[in-house]
Amino acid sequence: MAFRLRSDVPAVARAVERLYADYPLLAADQFCDFELAVQRAAGLRRWLRPQVTAHYDGDPVFEPLPLGHAFPLTEWALNWCVTTHAFEHLSLHAAVVERGGRAVILPAPPGSGKSTLCAALIHRGWRLLSDELTLVSLADGRISPVVRPVSLKNRSIDILSDFVPGAVFSEPTHDTVKGTVAHLRVPSEHVERMHETALPAWVVFPRWEAGAAATLTTLPKPDTVLELGRNSFNIQTLGAAGFQALADLVDRCDCHAFQYGNLDEAMAVFDRLAAS
Amino acid sequence: MSPVIQLHWRDWGGDSVVFEARSGLTQQFDPLSAAAMACIESGVTDLGELSQQLAEDLGTQPDSTLVESLCTLLERLTKLGWIEPQPLQD
């Protein structure tokens, strides 16, 4: 999946340089899947309470945001491009990581600790496929990677800074709708494998709770189908094909709920899962 | 049963899930409800006949508990738009 990004906002350029340095670059005349422009708003909003806009193929993607939110807007717009055009995939709001050829899908609403868990896992032996979008091929059920920086919010930023000394983040953006947001650079060896698909083996619904012991609980498959369906961006659009892909996915996987309050304990649970 | 409804089923021995293509919604059914749906899909349109068939499958006689469960199910299916109650004929 290839993007061409144009921006007149220096903060976007700095963030791209910091977080995407390991990614292959397109030549100017090469085909790309998505053309995205993140630019300062015209008119009054260029000067007074300046704003930034995102356009895909010339059409606005979201409402304008404060200029200081330009890089998060870029990442959100990239996610939007993928979720609205992944017609050959069932797309889920879920992180997904892989180890030993088997992928674990981590679906969860915002605030559940999904991205924190994902960011920790990719620094403890798991390969990042995506921290936000799980794409399940309708043709063969394999997960197609969308390897991009991991979005972290609020306390998670400090937690991951402590958990991964030396981790590279974008400059934090404050006062977004999600609070303070920063993006974590993906390890280069994961970027190098960004085209390697994987078969799913587990669906794990994470939930962070302060002080909670790391606990994995088996979930019935019908319940998993319903809950995963709620986390799907496009099952209704895909119709029966999307449902079959979802049901096949659940059929193939062991399904669990996962509660945790400590990252080290969580890593131990996932180590045991990988060894099973 | 409504003629525009297209159902796709999957089960793992206990509860079932069914996807209705027109609405794009997925529902979960317990085994009794799934069995009742199978009867309705096969053409059963009468509550009495439905409860009789299911009772036979269960090896029992239709009783008030079964009929009450079926009425709750039929109400749910009506709200979903999957079945259309027919007026009683004189």
Q: Where are the domains of chain B?
A: 7-80
Residue A218 forms contact with B (CB below 8 Å): no
Write down the pTM of the prediction: 0.92
Q: Which residues of A touch B24 (CB under 8 A)?
A: 235-237, 239
For chains A and B, count residue pairs whose Cβ atoms are closer than 8 Å. Answer: 43
Measured CA to CA, the distance from residue A165 to residue A268 in angstroms comes to 19
User: Minimal Cα–Cα distance from B31 to chain A, Å?
Assistant: 12
Sequence spans of domains, chain A:
88-148+186-276
What is the CB neighbour count within 10 angstroms for residue B20?
Answer: 21
What is the CB neighbour count within 10 angstroms for residue A147?
Answer: 23
Residue of B nearest to A233 (CA): B24
DSSP letter at B72 equals H
CATH topology of domain A88-148+186-276: Phosphoenolpyruvate Carboxykinase; domain 3 (3.90.228)
| Residues of chain B numbered 27-86 and touching chain A (CB < 8 Å) | 28
Cβ(A147)–Cβ(A112) under 8 Å? no
User: Under an 8 A CB cutoff, do B25 and A225 touch?
Assistant: no
Measured CA to CA, the distance from residue B76 to residue B53 in angstroms comes to 20
b vs e for A32-44, b when ≥16 Cβ sit within 10 Å of the residue's Cβ?
eebebbbbbbeee
H/E stretch holding B29: strand B25-29
Q: Which two tokens stand for residue B56?
A: 């036979």
Residue of A nearest to B7 (CA): A240
How many Cα atoms within 13 Å fall on the side-chain side of residue A206? 29
pLDDT tens for chain A, 276 residues long, are 889 999 999 999 999 999 999 999 988 888 899 999 999 988 877 777 889 999 998 899 889 999 999 999 999 999 999 988 888 999 999 999 999 999 999 998 777 889 999 999 999 999 999 999 999 999 999 999 999 999 999 999 999 999 999 999 999 999 888 899 999 999 999 999 999 999 999 999 999 999 999 999 999 999 999 999 999 999 999 999 999 999 999 999 999 999 999 999 999 999 999 999
Measured CA to CA, the distance from residue B77 to residue B84 in angstroms comes to 9
Catalogue the E-assigned strands of chain A: 3-7, 34-40, 51-56, 59-60, 65-66, 89-99, 102-107, 127-130, 133-137, 143-144, 150-153, 173-176, 179-184, 199-208, 215-218, 254-260
User: Under an 8 A CB cutoff, do A243 and B14 touch?
Assistant: no
Q: Which residues of A touch B8 (CB under 8 A)?
A: 240, 243-244
Q: Mean of the per-residue pLDDT values for chain B?
A: 87
Residue A111 forms contact with B (CB below 8 Å): no
User: Under an 8 A CB cutoff, do A243 and B12 touch?
Assistant: no
